[in-house]
Amino acid sequence: MKKSAFFGALTVAGFAAAMASAGTLDDVKAKGFLQCGVSTGLVGFAAPDSNGNWAGFDVSLCRAVAAAVLGDPQAVKFTPTTGKTRFTALASGEVDMLARNTTWTFSRDVDLKFTFDGINYYDGQGFMVPKSLGVSSAKELDGATVCIQTGTTTELNLADFFRANKMKYEPVPIETNAEARQQFLAGACDVYTTDRSGLAATRATFENPDNYVVLPEVISKEPLGPLTRQGDDQWSDIVRWTLNALISAEELGITSANIDELAKGTNNPEINRILGTEGNLGGMLGLDKKWAYNAIKAGGNYGEIFEKYIGEKTAIGLSRGLNAQWKDGGLIYSPPFR
Amino acid sequence: MSDVAYVRTEMVPEKAPPASQVGPIKWVRENLFPDIPNSVLTILALYFLYLALSALLPWIFHSAVHANSLNECREIIREAYGPDAVGACWGVIVDRWHQLLFGFYPQDMYWRPVTAFVLLLVALSPVLFSQVPRKMLMFTAVYPFIMYFLLWGGSIWLPLSVMFGFVLAPISHKIVAPLAGNLAGVIAGFAVPILWWGLAAGPVAEYLHSVAPVGIEYIESAKFGGFMLSITIGITGIALSLPLGIVLALGRRSDLLIIKSLSIGFIEFIRGVPLITLLFVASTLLNYFLPPGTTFDIILRVMIMVTLFSAAYMAEVIRGGLAALPKGQYEAADALGLDYWKAQRLIIMPQALKISIPGIVGTFIGLFKDTTLVSIIGLMDPLGLSNAIRADQAWNGILWELYAFIAAMFWIVCFSMSRYSMYLERKLQTDHR
Amino acid sequence: MSAFTDPPKESFRLGMLIYDTRYRSMTIQIVALIAFLAGAAWLVNNAANNLAALGKPLQFSFLWEPSGYDINQRLIEYNSQSPHIRAAFVGLINTLIIAVMGCTTATILGVVIGVLRLSKNWLVSKLMTVYIETFRNVPVLLWIVFTMAIFIETMPAPREFRSGAATMKLFDSVAFTNRGFYIPEPLFSNSLGNIDVFGIFKISNDLLAVIAVLVVSFLLQRAVKRRADKIQEATGIRPVTWWQRVGLMFIPIVVLLYVLGFHLGYPELKGFNFKGGIHLRNSLISLWIALSLYTAAFIAEAVRAGIMAVSKGQSEAAFALGLTASQTMNLVILPQALRVIIPPLISQYLNLTKNSSLAIAVGYMDITGTLAGITLNQTGREMETLILLMLVYLTISLSISSVMNWYNNAVKLKER
């Protein structure tokens, strides 16, 4: 830590020497911490508290990766990125991975040269309107004024949706969620559109949430997931399989409460393989045997993280829906650990 | 002889002047109602004042100071001033003032920025006021390193070893000059510190640190925020842009064609684009221009861009000062046999800078105000923090109080700067008319 | 004379490059040039390598792909299928609109406030001082978001018009809402159609016709005035021409408007929004107000300094000649003050234009919002979009300053 502090000081002073760009894994191990790009503040997904500690659904993934690689979930530094800066930050090596509600699209994967390492949240773009407007379907929004948070795929989806339904609208582009909320509540726009998780989070902060409804239409698929730079397969594998370990842990019933018990050995060979008591999956990744144990121990399995930050008991109150395990009719599915 | 005489023997007692010619009434008549158009203006102004104050005063004073959320505020105000009262909720400032001032800087470390700020005033005092002993300038020269050390912390050896580079310059000049001539001495004076900074300073500092680990906790610049961030960016920009601006101004007035056109190109380019585009460059492009793998702190990148930006404006202000200087001053310097740099240092610059003081301070004020733009690229300056605070459940929907507080802070700093520049102008006025 | 011998021909030595003042400047310049070129080459090379490594070499072809997003305020035809370059063009027009509107109002406000600040009326001059100091010393970005917030929070929403809580003003022709102002629009029932300019944008023939008629009438009435002046100079008697001039100014345009079938289209509340009329969006208005008020404070100071720079003797001399107060101001004080005012005025215009890029904070779609905002986000081409953006601003700035400098040279004191 002392050493990294020193390096940080050097960087600030502008003496940053070009680091050898070997694999990201070696870099992270050498630095002693993971540099993770998150959003500048989205309730439930990534937000700093008043002491500057980051917490949230996306943040937990960063902590799990840090735990898997370095054994310490606290060995993460968070870089808040905006819609504009996120890809540059990743591409230029400023961050090692991006866990920031970023939609997996063809062009980002192929043209921008990133690797999407799985999906941690299945989202879709929706609309929120005041109940007093008397609108029950998005198809009735012809001529409406729509607040959009810029810098995402939402603008494109919105344009496509209204064009396909031969409707007109007045877009009001807005930079931050706080401003969108202000304009929406003051009636400067009729509709607020963004990812449905974001809508739910915003609605939860209203004084009278019951006066507003999220319309049933989902106009786009928004699979959100972590990204890494293309071409560093080992690092991408680590991020991908850390996420898969969290998902499998939920499926297999490994929780942060019983993990120490299970790590002593069980009858289920897959649990044993994940927790490193059987085989050497960690070694294949270039990590130690306990990698998945550490990752799950850091914040619990996928289900635990979901419930803690964005689940139905939180202010945001998202139900699992598409994000339930495949056995429960959802889409969350991990390839086998074999 | 009758004693009828038309000569007064005693003075008529002095009468009070008519009521319309003295005191407040005269003042009011002369200053507020001298004629019809002015009377109309006065009445309009009074009406406007009434409108503004009747809207603002109840809001400011029907306020709740101790509250932990907006709803709590509203209840307190309703209880105290009736159900329809609207008032300011200063509770948000009470609750979050530390964030607005220091951002996410660790709370138990607030003494560091506070000390740095107090020392800044000490370091500035010999520059600002001539009554302060000149010896204090030594402290001013060392201050940047103290400020860096206090704000960022880390090992004390790093600022020390960087500082050592500045000591190396005159030393190597002194050693080399007698041996290999003045010119080689000058070259050595430049080259040795640069080599030191480039190659030796880092490792030496690291070595010393491993031998004698003296230092305070390192705070990464991502934790900087609020007015501390504005002031840090502002001070750095001001301190660096002045020398850079002088160099650019001299370059633009130089006879050397290439140097002149390079200076003009730089100045006109920077002045032709908005600061926000330069900040976009800082946030998205700057890394591309460096060798692969180099990463810079975003705050450092912003500081570089802000410095370049204000240097271009500074250069134009100083060029104005240089142009205003009578030609005789240049000729006199030549007649005394001074070389270019001596003439600049002893004759031209002191006068040119004096002439351009209002412009320089104006540029400083502009630079300080422009630090708010960093909120657009996601840094947590006061304006950026106001968004973050509004995103908090407890303070959702609060607005005016935050804006008022931020505006008031900026106003105080900028207004005092402009008043200081007026004071300086008066003080330095040497021509008597 | 031949007694003089030529100075001994010095052979050239390498050291002379440094020690001989004849060569030294050349040496310095060449060293500087080489250093600059090397630095630039290093930066460009790094950028090229980095971009190549990312697989996005510098190319502008993405500008011709469909943008995919909509823009609310567009003066030329644009939809989400139009290419990015057109979106940038829409943004550029919006930038120019706000710049022109802002400069105009800031100048008017600034002159009025600057003159009022010098007023003998104590209350008014103090109020103006307070205004100037308040606006000058608070960041313009804060004013912009502040104005926008006031706008949104205090104006009624369209739904309040439906419930009757708010009503339209000026005989139901104007609606002030927190989405902006809806004002009547001019319509022509016998429209002449549009001209297509290179298929890029369209210009209304009606507008062209109106402008042409106005210009011609103006020129004609000037000619009448000139003739009257000439007669006055020759004979000392001025013919009565005011009715000719008024007639020339107004009759043609009234006839034209009648022929074109001019009428006003009023905004009406339909569905979610007001329909019809011209929609001045809240972002445009708040940006306009904030930029004008902020810049006016600086212009006012420049105007005040300019008027103070005219010595008192000038106005005393004018009064001695028997000029009235307004004649003194128009013929003596202002022309002289103008010379001092114009240079700072130019830089304020430039500042306002550059500050208009802060439109991004209130969602006004200027060129920063389109090209360096949504286009950049959607395509991920930072290098290309930012280069283009800087070039555009550079062009605007340089054109403003060259036009204004030309004007400055025209009015400047002719010294010989």
Domains of chain A: 25-121+224-328 (3.40.190.10), 125-220 (3.40.190.10)
The tokens for C294 are: 């902020």
pLDDT of residue C413: 65
Express as a percent the part of chain C with pLDDT over 90.
31
Q: In chain B, which residue's Cα lies nearest the Cα of A178?
A: B391
Task: Give the residue from C317, C316, C185 showing the smallest Cα distance to C263.
Answer: C185
Looking at every residue in chain A, the average pLDDT score rounds to 85
User: Cα–Cα–Cα angle for C341, C345, C348, nearest 5°?
Assistant: 150
State the pLDDT at residue B153: 83
* A144–C369 CB contact, under 8 Å: no
Helix (DSSP H) and strand (DSSP E) numbers for chain B: 19, 2
pLDDT(A7) > 50: no
Say yes or no: A315 contacts chain B, CB-CB below 8 A: yes
C142: pLDDT confidence band, cut at 50, 70 and 90? Answer: very high
Percent of the residues in chain A that have a pLDDT greater than 70, as a whole number = 93
Share of chain A above pLDDT 90, in %: 36
- The pLDDT of residue A151 is above 70: no
The pLDDT of residue B284 is 83
**pLDDT for the residue C321:** 92
The pLDDT of residue C209 is 87
pTM for the model stands at 0.86
- Look at residue A41 and tell me whether its pLDDT is greater than 90: no
Return the bridge partners of C279, or none.
Answer: C182
Question: Is any Cβ of chain A less than 8 angstroms from the Cβ of B213?
Answer: yes
Provide CB contacts within 8 A for B309, sequence distance 6+: B237, B270, B275, B278, B367, B370
8 Å CB contact of B410 and C119: no
Of C123, C140, C393, the CB nearest to B45: C123
Domain of C331, in residue numbers: 84-162+281-411
CB B62 within 8 A of CB B87: yes
CA distance B231 to B224: 11
Domain with CATH 1.10.3720.10 in chain B: 220-433
Question: Are A39 and A48 contacting, i.e. CB atoms less than 8 angstroms apart?
Answer: no
CA distance B359 to A215: 57
C374 touching chain A per CB within 8 A = yes
Q: Is B292 on the interface with A (CB under 8 A)?
A: yes
B contact test, residue of A76, A92, A179, A202 with most B CBs within 10 A: A92
Chain B interface disruption, residue of C17, C379, C390, C405, most B CBs within 10 A: C390
Chain A residues touching B154 at Cβ < 8 A: 5-6, 8-9
Partner-chain contact B201 A15, CB within 8 Å: yes
Count of B-C CB contacts under 8 Å: 151
Confidence class for position A8, pLDDT limits 50, 70, 90: very low
| pLDDT for B4 | 65
Residue of C nearest to B38 (CA): C121
The CATH number assigned to the domain holding C119 equals 1.10.3720.10
pLDDT at C56 over 70: yes
Are the beta carbons of B411 and C134 separated by less than 8 Å? yes
Band (A2; pLDDT cuts 50, 70, 90): very low
Whether the pLDDT of residue C16 is over 80: the answer is no
pLDDT average, residue stretch C245-257? 86
Contact check, Cβ <8 Å, A93/B295: yes
Per-residue pLDDT tens over the stretch C63-81: 999 988 888 888 888 888 8
Chain A within 8 Å of C280 (Cβ-Cβ)?
no
Cβ–Cβ under 8 Å, residues B196 and A51: no
What tens digit of pLDDT does each residue of A89-118 get?
888 788 899 998 788 988 888 877 889 999
Inter-helix orientation angle A2-13/B136-152, to 10°: 130
| Alpha-carbon gap, residue B374 to A177, rounded angstroms | 18
Inform me whether the pLDDT recorded for A233 exceeds 70: yes
Q: How far is CA A74 from CA A1, A23, A294, in A?
A: 12, 22, 12
Q: Give mean pLDDT, residues A294-313.
A: 91
A81 touching B, CB under 8 A? yes
Q: At what angle do helices B257-272 and C382-411 cross, to 10 degrees?
A: 100
Nearest chain C residue (CA) to B33? C121
Q: Is B324 on the interface with C (CB under 8 A)?
A: no
C378 to A188: CB separation less than 8 angstroms, yes or no: no
Write down which chains contact chain A via at least 3 CB pairs under 8 A.
B, C
Q: Give A207's contacts in chain B (Cβ within 8 Å).
A: 71, 397
> Mean pLDDT throughout A36-65?
84
A&C contacts, CB < 8 Å: 103
ipTM of this predicted structure: 0.86
C251 occurs within a structural domain: no
Neighbours of B78 (CB within 10 A): 15
Task: Give the DSSP per-residue string, C76-135.
Answer: S---TTSBHHHHHHHHHHHHHHHHHHHHHHHHHHHHHHHHHHT-S-HHHHHHHHHHHHHH
CB contact under 8 A, C54 and A91: yes
Task: State how far residue A277 is from chain B, nearest Cα, in angstroms.
Answer: 38
Q: Does A84 touch chain C (CB under 8 A)?
A: yes
Q: Measure B106 CA to nearest chain C CA, in Å.
A: 27
Phi, psi of C287 (to 5 degrees): -65, -45
Do C354 and B32 make contact, defined as CB atoms within 8 angstroms?
Answer: no
CA-based nearest residue in chain A for residue C71? A171
Residues of C with Cβ-Cβ distance to A172 under 8 angstroms: 72, 283, 363
- With an 8 Å Cβ cutoff, are B277 and C389 in contact? yes
Q: Give the residue from chain B lying closest to C397, CA to CA.
A: B272
Residues of A with CB below 8 A from B391's CB?
41, 43, 47, 176-178
From A4's Cα to the closest Cα of chain C, the distance in A is 26
Partner B contacted by A176 (CB < 8 A)? yes
How much of chain B is in helix, strand and coil states, percent to nearest 5? 75, 0, 25
Average pLDDT per run of 10 along chain B, which is 433 residues long? Answer: 70 81 80 81 90 87 82 84 81 86 86 89 79 79 86 83 82 80 76 81 81 81 86 88 91 87 92 93 85 77 92 91 86 87 86 84 90 87 84 77 92 91 79 51
Condensed to tens digits (0 to 9), the pLDDT of residues A158-212 reads 999 999 999 989 999 887 777 888 889 888 899 999 888 888 878 877 878 889 9
Residues B277, C32: C-beta atoms closer than 8 Å: no
Q: Which residue has the higher pLDDT, B344 or C195?
A: B344
State the smallest CA–CA distance between residue B206 and chain C in angstroms.
29
Nearest-5° Cα angle at C233, C231 to C234: 65
Task: For chain B, list the contacting chains (3+ Cβ pairs, <8 Å).
Answer: A, C
Alpha-carbon gap: A39 to the closest alpha carbon of chain B (Å):
10
- Cβ contacts (< 8 Å) between A112 and chain B: which residues? none
Q: Choose between C119 and C397: higher pLDDT.
A: C397
Closest Cα to residue A189, out of A158, A164, A221?
Answer: A158
CB proximity under 8 Å: A 86-145 to B: 88, 92-94
Chain length of chain A: 338
Name, in order, each residue with C-beta under 8 angstroms of A254's C-beta and a sequence gap of 6 or more: A248, A262, A271, A274, A275, A296, A301
| Structural domains of chain C, count | 1
**Is residue B54 less than 8 Å (CB to CB) from chain A?**
no
Q: Tell me whether residues B256 and C360 touch, CB distance under 8 A.
A: no
pLDDT reading at A1 higher than 50 = no
> Is B280 within 8 Å of chain C by CB?
yes
d(CA A128, CA A134): 12
Interface of B with A in 301-360 (CB under 8 A): none
pLDDT at B431: 58
Closest CA–CA distance from residue A86 to any residue of chain B (Å): 9
A13 touches chain B (CB under 8 A): yes
Burial A5-22 (b: 16+ CB within 10 A, else e): bbbbbbbbbeebeebeee
Percent of chain C with pLDDT over 70: 94
* CA distance, residue A233 to nearest chain B CA (Å): 18
Asked if the model's pLDDT at residue C88 lies above 90, the reply is yes
What pLDDT was estimated at residue A6?
A: 38
* CATH number assigned to the domain with residue range B220-433, chosen from the 4 options 3.40.50.800, 1.10.3720.10, 3.30.70.20, 1.10.540.10: 1.10.3720.10
Our CA dihedral for A172, A174, A177, A180, rounded to 10 degrees, sits at -30
Closest Cα in chain C, distance from residue A233 (Å): 16
Q: Is the pLDDT of residue C285 over 50?
A: yes
Q: Which two tokens stand for residue B198?
A: 């480039």
Q: Do C378 and A156 touch (CB under 8 A)?
A: yes
Q: Is residue C106 part of a domain?
A: yes
pLDDT for position B2: 56
At A13 the pLDDT is: 40
CB atoms within 10 A of CB A43: 23
Q: From the list B152, B300, B387, which residue is nearest A178 (CB)? A: B387
